[in-house]
Each structure stands twice: as C-alpha cells, then as structure tokens.
Amino acid sequence: GVFFGIDPQLVIVDPDIAKDILTSDFFYFMGRGIYKTSSDPTTVHLFSQDGLEWKTARAKSTSLFTSAKMR
C-alpha cells in the first residue's frame, strides 16, 4: 500500500486479487475516493462511481460481458 497524504491506500497488482475484489468482494471496496461531479462527463463511468450508483451501473453492465456477447 501507499499513503495519499495521511490516508493509507491499497494498491492491487495481483490480477487474481483484483478479480476477486471486482467480482465477489466488491461490497468491501465500494468507496474509491475518486474525484467526481455529476456535471463532469469524464467521471461518469463504472470505475469512478461509489455505493449504490456503482452497484446499479455494475448490474446493468454485467450482461454486456457474457461469453455469448463476447463472441
């Protein structure tokens, strides 16, 4: 991990751990601390959303990446 000011931050470099966090442990890692405003279109995407916004966007986008649609 690293420190961002006085706040500790976790840096994930192992792909298997990243997969676990993004698929099954996402509830524990919802607060990403990324700057965003609703008026800034560059920040309105899955990786910058928090909490309920993120969970809703993830549920909608999950169906886009099924094995049948990736063919």
Q: DSSP string spanning 7-70?
A: EEE-----HHHHHHHHHTSGGGG--------TT-GGG-SGGG--HHHHHHHHHHHHGGG-TTTT
In tens digits, the chain (71 residues) has pLDDT values of 788 888 888 888 999 998 888 788 877 776 655 555 566 666 666 666 777 777 777 787 777 777 776 66
**Residue 30: per-residue pLDDT:** 65
The model's pTM is 0.41
**Residue 14: per-residue pLDDT:** 92
Spatial CB neighbours of 58, under 8 Å, sequence gap ≥ 6:
26, 46
